[in-house]
Structure 1
Amino acid sequence: MPLHFLLTALLLLPPLPALAHGLTVIPPEGIWYAWSIDPLVLVPLALTHWLYGRGVARMWSRAGTGRGVPRWRAACFLTGELTLVLALVWPFDAVGGTLFSAHMVQHMLLMVVAAPLLVLGTPLAPMMLALPEGWRPAAAGMVRKLRPGRFLTRPSVAAVIQGVALWAWHAPAPFQAALLDDAIHTAEHVTFMASAVLFWWSVLHAGRDGPGGYGAAAAWTLVTVIHGGMLGALLTFARTPLYPAYGDSASLWGLTALEDQQLAGLIMWVPTGIVHLGAGLWLIGAWLSAVERRNANVTEPT
Structure 2
Amino acid sequence: MTPTEARNGTSRTARKSTEVGPTSPSWLGVALPVAALVALAALVAAGAFSGAFTAFANFADPGVLVRWGVPVATVTTELAVAVTVGALALAAWVLPRGPLVDRAIGVAGVAAGVWTVAALVQLVLRFSWSTYLPLDSPTFGPALMEYVSTIPVGRTYLGIVIVAALTAAVALLVRGSVGAMCTMALPLVALGMQSSTGHAAGAASHDLAISALFLHLGGAALWIGGLAAIVFVGLRYAATGDVIRRYSAIALWCFAAVAISGLVSAWVRIGSLDGLGTDYGILIVVKSVLLIVLGGLGWLHRSTVVARLSAGTTTRNAAIGLFWRLAAVEVGVMGAVSGVAVALGSTAPPVPDDVIADPTPAEIVTGHPLPPEPTPLRWLTEFQWDVIVAFACAAALIVYVRWALRLRARGDAWPVARTVSWCLGIIVLFWATNGGAAAYGHVMFSAHMVQHMILAMVVPIFLVLAAPVTLLARAVPARQDDSRGPREWVLLLVHSAWGRFLANPIVAAVLFAGGMIVFYFTPLFELALTTYAGHLWMILHFTLVGYLFANVLIGVDPGPSQPGYPMRLVLLFATMAFHAFFGVTLTSGTALLVPDWFGLMGRPWGPSAIADQQTGGAVAWGIGELPTLLLAVGVAISWTKSDAREARRTDRKAERDGDAELEAYNEMLAKKAEQAAKRGEG
Task: Sort the TM-score into its range (normalised by shorter chain).
Answer: 0.7 to 0.9
Which residues of structure 2 form unaligned runs of 5+?
Answer: 1-256, 270-352, 357-362, 661-682
| 1:159/1:199 contact within 8 Å kept | yes
1:64-213 aligned within 5 A: 68-127=413-472, 138-139=484-485, 140-147=487-494, 149-171=499-521, 173-205=523-555, 213=564
Q: What are the superposed Cα offsets for residues 30-88 of structure 1, whole Å, 9 maximum, x if unpaired? A: 9645322333x12322221111111111122232xxx6321111111000010111111
The answer as to 2:409 corresponding to 1:58 is: no
SS at match of 1:270: helix
Partners in 1 of 2:565 and 2:540 — Cα distance? 27
Structure with larger Rg: 2
Alpha-carbon distance, 1:8 to partner: 10
CA RMSD of aligned residues (A): 3.6
Q: CA deviation at 1:243?
A: 2.9
User: Are the equivalent residues in 1 in contact too, given 2:501–2:507 (CA < 8 A)?
Assistant: yes
Q: How many Å separate the matches in 2 of 1:150 and 1:211? A: 11
Amino acid at match of 2:444: L
Ranked by relative contact order (alpha carbons within 8 Å, sequence separation 6 or more), the top structure is 1
Counterpart among 218, 224, 229 of residue 569 in structure 2: 218
Q: Which amino acid aligns with 1:24?
A: H
Identify which range, 150-159 or 219-228, moves more after superposition.
150-159
The residue identity in structure 2 corresponding to 1:225 is: M
Residue identity opposite 2:517 in structure 1: W
Q: Percent sequence identity over matched residues? A: 25
Are 2:28 and 1:28 equivalent residues in the alignment?
Answer: no
Cα–Cα, structure 1 residues 72 and 235, in superposed 2: closer, same or farther, change >3 Å?
same
Matches within 5 A, 1:1-20: 11=261, 12-13=263-264, 14-15=267-268
Structure 1: distance between partners of 2:604 and 2:480: 52
Q: Which residue of 1 aligns with 2:585?
A: 234
CA contact (8 A) 1:232 1:266 kept: yes
TM-score, reference length from structure 2: 0.39
- Which runs of no fewer than 5 residues in structure 1 stay unpaired? 1-6
Q: Go from structure 1 to structure 2 and tell me whether the alpha carbon gap of 1:176 and 1:55 turns closer, same or farther (over 3 Å shift).
A: same
Could you tell me the TM-score, scaled by structure 1's length?
A: 0.81
Work out the CA distance in 2 between the residues paired with 1:230 and 1:184: 26
Deviates more, 1:151-160 or 1:112-121: 151-160
2:578 alignment partner AA: H
Match of 2:617 in 1: 265
Q: Provide the residue aligned with 1:252 in structure 2.
A: 604
For 2:489, the aligned partner's letter is M
For 2:394, which of 24, 28, 46 is the aligned residue?
46
* Match among 623, 628, 632 for residue 280 of structure 1: 632
Contact 1:21 1:94 in 2 (8 A): no
Local SS of the residue matching 1:152: helix
1:252 counterpart SS class:
coil
Q: Aligned partners of 1:59, 1:75: CA distance in 2, in Å?
A: 16
After the TM superposition, which of the residue ranges 79-88 and 248-257 deviates more from structure 2?
A: 248-257
Question: Does structure 2 conserve the Cα–Cα contact (< 8 Å) formed by 1:54 and 1:130?
Answer: no
Q: In 2 relative to 1, CA 205–85 (structure 1 residues): closer, same or farther, beyond 3 Å?
A: closer
Relative distance call for 1:128 and 1:293 in structure 2 (3 A) is closer
Q: Using a 3 Å threshold, how does the CA distance of structure 1 residues 121 and 295 change in structure 2: closer, same or farther?
A: closer
Taking a change above 3 Å as real, the CA distance of residues 55 and 288 of structure 1, as seen in their structure-2 partners, is closer
Report the CA distance between 1:120 and its aligned residue: 0.9
Partner of 2:22: none
Given that 2:569 and 2:632 are in contact with CA atoms closer than 8 Å, whether structure 1 keeps it comes out as yes
Query: Counterpart in 2 of 1:3?
Result: none
Q: Which amino acid aligns with 2:402?
A: R
Gap change, CA 1:219 and 1:239, over 3 Å in 2: same
- The offset of 1:27, in angstroms, is 2.8
Query: Aligned pair count?
Result: 293
Cα separation, 2, equivalents of 1:223 and 1:289: 24
Closer, same or farther in 2 for the Cα pair 1:53/1:253, shift >3 Å? farther
CA offsets 1:6-48 (integer angstroms, 9 cap, x no match) = x999754345999897223523269645322333x12322221
Change (3 A) 1:207 1:70: closer
Letter in 2 for 1:62: R
Task: Provide Cα deviations, 1:149-182, integer angstroms capped at 9, x if missing partner.
Answer: 4443232221112122222111153212211111
Instruction: Sort the Cα spacing of 1:211 and 1:76 in 2 relative to 1 into closer, same or farther, 3 A.
Output: closer
